[in-house]
Amino acid sequence: MDMRAPVKVYMTKKLLGVKPDTTVQDASKMMMEFEVGSLVVIDDNGNVIGFFTKSDVLRRVIVPGLPYTTPVKEIMTKELITVDANTPLGEVLRKMAEHRIKHILIEEEGKIVGIFTLSDLLEASRRRLETAISTE
């Protein structure tokens, strides 16, 4: 794993999303089906307007006792913590540690283009961009 490599090398470039009016139950079912820990919330123009994770469901739905039919727009995080796609991995990890977050959204020219999570970090530590073919 190379701490100087831009985070775009290791991020997940394909995002799973839901519409703002999707219920938290449907969104949670989707997280289970696709085994992901977070989803982005997309408006009709395809822009990312929010983000939420499994722990947001616990913290903002289950604990306060909101109904399962609550739309995700009511519990999503609207103030997104993002980094630029060219930020070196080391810096991204520092930012995640500072904010104590496990998922961070990656942006490029003002658009969310990827996500980097702790599982991506695990993957990055395993899958090194190297070649074994020969030294030359």
Partner 1 sequence: MLIAHISDTHITNEVAFKSYAFDLIVNEINTRPFDLVIHTGDVTNNGLREEYEHASYLIRKIEKPLIVVPGNHDARNVGYELFERYIGPLSGVYEFKDGVVIWVDSTIPDLSDGRIGGYKYRWLKAKLEEYSHKKIKIVAAHHHLVPLPDTGRERNVLFNAGDVLDLLLSHEVTLYMCGHKHVPNVYRVEDLVVDNAGCTSCRKTRKGDVNSYNIVKITKDGVKVTVRRVTGEERKKEHRPIKPKIFIPKGKRLLRIVQVAESNVSDRRYFRRKVLENAIKAVNERYKPDIVIHCGDVVEKGIERFYEMAMKFYEKIKAEKLIVPGHNDITYLGYDLFREYFGEPEVIERGDFVFIPMLSAQYETQIGVVGRMGQKILKDLLEDFKEKFRVVVMHHNLVPVPRARELGYLEDAGNVLKIITDQETELTLTGHGGNAHAVKVEKTPIINAGSISWELHRDPFGNSFNLIDVYEDMIIAFEVQATWGSRKLLGMWKIKGEVPWL
Which residues of this chain interact with partner 1, rule CB under 8 A? 2, 4-6, 8-10, 12-19, 30, 34-35, 40, 42, 46, 48, 86, 108, 111-114, 119, 123, 126-136
Minimal distance, residue 19 CB to partner 1, in Å: 7
Q: How far apart are CA 9 and CA 19, in angstroms?
A: 28
| The dihedral sign for the CA sequence 57, 114, 92, 108 | negative
Minimal distance, residue 64 CB to partner 1, in Å: 27
Q: Which is nearer to partner 1, 14 or 78 (CB)?
A: 14
**Backbone φ, ψ for residue 88 (5° rounding):** -60, 145
Minimal distance, residue 55 CB to partner 1, in Å: 19
| The dihedral sign for the CA sequence 36, 60, 46, 5 | negative
Q: Which is nearer to partner 1, 83 or 114 (CB)?
A: 114
74 touches 56 (CB < 8 A):
no
**Is 131 exposed, middle or buried, given 0-12, 13-18 or 19+ CB atoms closer than 10 A?**
exposed
Q: Which is nearer to partner 1, 62 or 122 (CB)?
A: 122
Q: Which is nearer to partner 1, 20 or 60 (CB)?
A: 20
Minimal distance, residue 113 CB to partner 1, in Å: 5
